Amino acid sequence: MAQLAICGGSPVRTKPFTAWPIFSQDDEKALIDVLHSERWFMGDRKEAFEKAFAQYQEAEFGVAVSSGTTALQIALEAAGVGLGDEVIVPSYTFVATASAVALVGAVPVFVDIQPSTYNIDPDAVEAAITPRTRAIIAVHIAGRPADLDRLTALAQKHDIRLIEDAAQAHAAAWKGQRVGAIGDLGTFSFQASKNLNAGEGGFITTSNSELAQRAWSLHNCGRSPEGAWYEHPLIGGNYRLGEFQAGLLLSQLKSLDELAERRSRNGGALGNAIEGIEGIDTTEPDERITNHAYHLFVMRYSAAAFNGLSRDHFIEALNAEGIPCSAGYRPLYGEPAFTTRFAHYPLDSPYYGGRPDYGQVHCPVTERVCAEEAIWLTQNLLLGEESDITDIVTAIEKIQTHADALQ
């Protein structure tokens, strides 16, 4: 076989993968239509999108907001989380899952993930519950639903709220139901990289009318749906999604099924194809996951099967072969945002009675996964032809065959 590209050989692939975002003339028209409507905020499109996306995710109610981060903040506040409360979050996720907790004045409690799924470990959640725990945030990492059976049971048993962070999980389904309203509340992101995208944007789903009403009020200056414009029963911010984004999302939503189906097909095919490669796995299948959204295709790498080649060096070699990939997150509790003392930092709250010491937190699975195991391929790599999947597999096999050249 040819020399590795990183050593000067020809790469397996020179063709780019499917570009992201994808947009059509319908999307262009949707944006122009908003422009001409002269109604650029709180118009028909935001409301129509709220109905359509809530229905898509099988939730009774939906509130369209400015980002996935603000969706989390509002969901937490709607759930009654506030000063001095603890919220259990996974240590392997985007920073917003935990920073949203701090932004509402509560304390994130980091727990480890399962080695076979990369999702929050329900045993670790159970061990972390204290009388201060008010909520659990289950992130459906990479678009793979977390164990919602165990997590909903735990939340019910301890009378705490379960919030699904589904920022990466549009169209994902657990036992035949789309995620977002299986827990008390769900949150989504429409930021540029996401499987449904309007540059920025977010969404809250719930099938609880009281929580829906609170979320609506919190995102709209504390107004109430039936109240007068200058009537404010709650203190809320302005986190509304604008009409341009709502118009674009309504149009983009029409192709979500087709794209989700392609990601599922190609993600499944890639999972099957790498089964034959020693030292490369993906997360373990679970028949309760009836749709994996594949926001990311996660590979679990073992250097031992690649002649000791480190994960980071493997990533460089795979990139050189024309397959874009990356290592992903760092353990979140180690970020200076949580370990450094800032004057304005809400974690000093006297309501909590002592600042959490994140320097003492160790989640061994997260640390190993971040340091030496995880490799991410982004969702757009799964939107093309079967030959794209073949190229990924060929490039991995080529590196394995020639791993000794990289020692």
Ligand X SMILES: Cc1ncc(COP(=O)(O)O)c(C=O)c1O
Smallest gap, in angstroms, from Cβ of residue 95 to ligand X? 8
Q: Please pick, from the candidates 57, 189, 208, 213, the single residue that binds ligand X as defined by CB under 6 A.
A: 189
Residue 63 in the binding site for ligand X (CB under 6 A): no
Smallest gap, in angstroms, from Cβ of residue 71 to ligand X? 7
3-state secondary structure of 289: strand
C-beta closer to ligand X: residue 56 or 329: 329
Whether the Cβ atoms of residue 291 and residue 173 lie closer than 8 Å to each other: yes
Smallest gap, in angstroms, from Cβ of residue 296 to ligand X? 9
**Residue 328's CB: how many other CB atoms inside 10 A?**
18
C-beta closer to ligand X: residue 13 or 240: 240
Q: Please pick, from the candidates 139, 211, 246, 280, the single residue that binds ligand X as defined by CB under 6 A.
A: 139
Q: Please pick, from the candidates 12, 63, 81, 96, the single residue that binds ligand X as defined by CB under 6 A.
A: 96
Q: Please pick, from the candidates 73, 91, 97, 366, the single residue that binds ligand X as defined by CB under 6 A.
A: 97
H-helix segments, 25-169:
25-37, 44-56, 68-78, 96-103, 122-128, 148-158
Whether the Cβ atoms of residue 218 and residue 187 lie closer than 8 Å to each other: no
In angstroms, the CA 41 to CA 38 distance is: 9
Residues in region 146-175 near ligand X by CB under 6 A: 165, 167-168
Stretch that binds ligand X, among 20-28, 66-74, 104-112, 242-250 (CB under 6 A): 66-74
C-beta closer to ligand X: residue 200 or 321: 200
The DSSP secondary structure of 148-189, one letter per residue, reads HHHHHHHHHHHT-EEEEE-TT-TT-EETTEETTSSSSEEEEE
Residue type, 139: V
Whether the Cβ atoms of residue 330 and residue 324 lie closer than 8 Å to each other: no
H-helix segments, 145-281:
148-158, 209-219, 243-253, 256-274
Smallest gap, in angstroms, from Cβ of residue 119 to ligand X? 11
Residue 90 in the binding site for ligand X (CB under 6 A): no
In angstroms, the CA 33 to CA 49 distance is: 15
C-beta closer to ligand X: residue 31 or 103: 103
Token digits of residue 312: 């980071």
3-state secondary structure of 241: coil
Distance, first Cα to last Cα, the chain: 18
Q: How far is CA 257 from CA 22, 57, 406, in A?
A: 14, 12, 42
Stretch that binds ligand X, among 64-72, 248-256, 376-384, 389-397 (CB under 6 A): 64-72
Token digits of residue 286: 């679970």
Smallest gap, in angstroms, from Cβ of residue 295 to ligand X? 8
Smallest gap, in angstroms, from Cβ of residue 327 to ligand X? 16
Smallest gap, in angstroms, from Cβ of residue 31 to ligand X? 20
> What DSSP state is assigned to residue 266?
H
Angle at 406 between CA 404 and CA 407, to 5 degrees: 70
In angstroms, the CA 385 to CA 391 distance is: 10
- How many residues belong to the site for ligand X (CB under 6 A)? 14
Q: Which residues pair with 87 in a beta bridge?
A: 108, 135
C-beta closer to ligand X: residue 120 or 315: 120
Smallest gap, in angstroms, from Cβ of residue 302 to ligand X? 26
Q: Please pick, from the candidates 73, 93, 99, 217, the single residue that binds ligand X as defined by CB under 6 A.
A: 93
Residue 242 in the binding site for ligand X (CB under 6 A): no
Which residue number places its CB atom closest to ligand X? 68
Stretch that binds ligand X, among 7-15, 65-73, 117-125, 210-218 (CB under 6 A): 65-73
In angstroms, the CA 389 to CA 397 distance is: 13
C-beta closer to ligand X: residue 10 or 326: 326
Residue 183 in the binding site for ligand X (CB under 6 A): no
Residue 68 in the binding site for ligand X (CB under 6 A): yes
Q: Which residues pair with 90 in a beta bridge?
A: 111
**Residue 64's CB: how many other CB atoms inside 10 A?**
28
In angstroms, the CA 330 to CA 91 distance is: 9
Residue 205 in the binding site for ligand X (CB under 6 A): no
Residue 104 in the binding site for ligand X (CB under 6 A): no
Stretch that binds ligand X, among 11-19, 46-54, 67-75, 281-289 (CB under 6 A): 67-75
Residue 117 in the binding site for ligand X (CB under 6 A): no
Q: Where do contacts with ligand X occur on this chain (CB under 6 A)?
A: 67-69, 93-94, 96-97, 139, 165, 167-168, 189, 191, 202
